Structure 1
Amino acid sequence: MPHRLLLVDDEEKVLEFMEPFLRGEGYETYTARTGREAIAKAREANVSLVVLDWMLPEMNGLDVCRELRRIGPMGIIMLTARAEEADKIVGLEIGADDYMTKPFSLRELSARIRSVLRRMDGHAAAAAPALVYGDLAVSESECRVKKGGKEIPLTPTEFKLLLTLAARPGIVYSRLQLLQAALADDILNDERTVDTHISRIRKKIEDDPSRPAFVQTVYGFGYRFGDRA
């Protein structure tokens, strides 16, 4: 079955720009022009990925992104005219997998969609027993992370980073190695992106993110997973 994409923008001309091209790429597409409509359609259509504009009526894209993360696993690519690095970091912090500034090319958008979907498909296809460390369980086959029995929502990129580290506790990975492992299809990301994702992972799985027990920094080298079990 083709992947289902939800395209969210309050400008009809932007939707008309994206939708025919992505349908031609083989995707099943849905559109929404407000935040609330986007949330409703994401639930109804069980979409694989959302291309989400930052500036929307009723709810802005950041608030929509937070709500989408509560619905279930899906890729999220933010679109915005805001090009500052700080804005990109904010988008990643609240759960986006990728970030594109307007104007953008349809070929680049398609490449980024494929990149996120490949990471998601790879997670779903994997079959391996859960990695359990104390009260933290990382299941590659189910693409799920649980802490104390409670499921922790992670983006596909966050999951891939955590899985890479957890699979080999104690091994130190450089930022470049983690970038290649989790974001290999997206050559437009840089090593600082890893730090942003690691920060988000810590906020979700660590009892005290300022003193992480699981995802630890090795200063001057990179990161490692600490097995505290």
Structure 2
Amino acid sequence: MNNHYHNKRVLIVEDEPKIAQVLVDFLTLEGFSSQVLHDGLNALETIRDDEIDFVILDLMLPHKDGLTICKEVRQFSAIPILMLTARVEEIDRLIGLEIGADDYVCKPFSAREVVARVKTILRRTEPSVQMAEDEISYKQLLINIERFKCHVASVEVELTPVEFRLLHTMIKRPGVVHSRDSLMQVCYVDDRVVSSRTIDSHIKNLRSKLLLNNRQPDLLHSIYGVGYKIE
């Protein structure tokens, strides 16, 4: 058993009992504890009210589908979500919908592969060092939320409020790709209308500052046609 995950609780929302049980068995071997729902009715309440660390969510569910559940969860939680779908052609459509899932797996799948994905997503969605509640660190980046400070390799970097909000959003979930639309919502809380080019411009300035005149590796990556990520 892997003790690193012994306190991690996984919610499996899957209407096929055999698939759900295989996932429970493999997760248990790695130290996870699991909870299973066979339809989508109580998924939101369970995620909101129970201490769940990760959600494995089937796309096609009785009563309430995974697409709807994922969108609704993202209204109140950034909990990692791995979607399961029986149709490989659905993957591109799901990614295009930007519903907020962290990854997708097609059925039939290897349960071992699913557990490996769960571990990978947990590693990348947890900041590598949590210095304090008001500080987040990832590789050579350190931001202090209350003091509005950013350091790169111990060198303080001056950021504008928009650049700071962009960096804060991405550093909280390393490896996760953020669409331009979601970044615009984070940066402009007063609902003003801005173009995606505006975000591109802010990202360009932010990247330049984080590179410290090219003395640091580039952690800010552009994903063509999708958005941006820190990794």
TM-score by length of 2: 0.64
Aligned twin of 1:133: 160
1:28 aligned onto 2:55 = no
Q: In 1, Cα distance between the equivalents of 2:74 and 2:44?
A: 10
1:65-105 per-position Cα deviation (integer Å, ceiling 9, x unaligned): 012122323100000012124324146x0110111111111
* Structure 2 residue 92 is the aligned partner of structure 1 residue 86: yes
Structure 2 residue matching 1:122: 3-state secondary structure: coil
Identity %: 30
C-alpha separation in 2, matches of 1:138 and 1:206 = 6
Bigger mean CA offset, 67-76 vs 26-35:
67-76
User: Shift of residue 136 of structure 1?
Assistant: 7.0
The CA RMSD over aligned residues, in Å, is 3.1
Q: Distance in 2 between matches of 1:114 and 1:31?
A: 19
Scaled by the length of structure 1, what TM-score is found? 0.64
5+ residue gaps, structure 1, are: 146-158, 165-180, 184-192
Counterpart in the other structure of 1:189: none
Q: In terms of mean alpha carbon deviation, does 53-62 or 39-48 score higher?
A: 39-48
Q: Pick the structure with more helix per residue.
A: 1
Aligned 8 A contact 2:181 2:196 in 1: no
Q: Flag the structure with larger Rg.
A: 2
**Bigger mean CA deviation after superposition, 36-45 or 10-19:** 36-45
> Within 2, Cα distance between the matches of 1:198 and 1:62?
18
* Ranges in structure 2 where 5+ consecutive residues have no aligned partner: 1-5, 136-142, 149-158, 208-231
In structure 2, distance between residues paired with 1:43 and 1:95 = 16
Q: Which residue of structure 2 lines up, in the alignment, with residue 210 of structure 1?
A: 195
> Is residue 6 of structure 1 aligned with residue 11 of structure 2?
yes
Report the 3-state secondary structure (helix = DSSP H, G, I; strand = E; otherwise coil) of the residue aligned with 1:55: coil
Is 1:163 aligned to residue 143 of structure 2? no
Amino acid at match of 1:86: D
3-state secondary structure, aligned to 1:16: helix
